Amino acid sequence: MLDRAPEGTVETATRSERPKLYKVILLNDDFTPRRFVVKVLQGVFRMTEGEAEAVMMTAHRRGACVVAVFTREIAEQKAREATELGRHAGFPLTFTTERED
């Protein structure tokens, strides 16, 4: 849909003002070591160790945790990259993406 351009901006027919956003979601599993999950979150999502530990523990306890929100391309790229780090180390660690409401 074409949004009306706010005052002082240039309206174009090709770009929406509010791109759709996608959540990256970390899924729990019974095998990936906690330390490994924390390292992946720090490396791929630029989290501090404390932030990464909090996200990892929420996924561990509740089954899943929202890690971050991005545009679709970035969300899918980061979810793929983080999941591949787990696969290359032999772990079932999985990140998915989901459209934000």
Distance between terminal CA atoms of the chain? 17
Q: For residue 82, which of 38, 48, 22 has the smallest C-alpha distance?
A: 38
Alpha helices in 1-101 (DSSP H): 34-45, 49-62, 72-88
CB nearer ligand TYC, residue 29 or residue 76: 29
Decide if 70 contacts 21 (C-beta within 8 A): yes
Q: Contact between 39 and ligand TYC (CB under 6 A)?
A: no
Q: Which stretch binds ligand TYC (CB under 6 A): 4-12, 16-24, 32-40, 71-79?
A: 32-40
User: Which residues in 43-62 contact ligand TYC (CB under 6 A)?
Assistant: 56, 59-60
Amino acid at 64: A
CA-CA distance, 65 to 81, in Å (whole number)?
17
Q: Contact between 33 and ligand TYC (CB under 6 A)?
A: yes
By CB under 6 A, how many residues form the interface with ligand TYC?
13
From 23, 24, 25, 37, residue interacting with ligand TYC (rule: CB under 6 A): 37
Q: Which residues bind ligand TYC (CB under 6 A)?
A: 26-30, 32-34, 37, 56, 59-60, 93
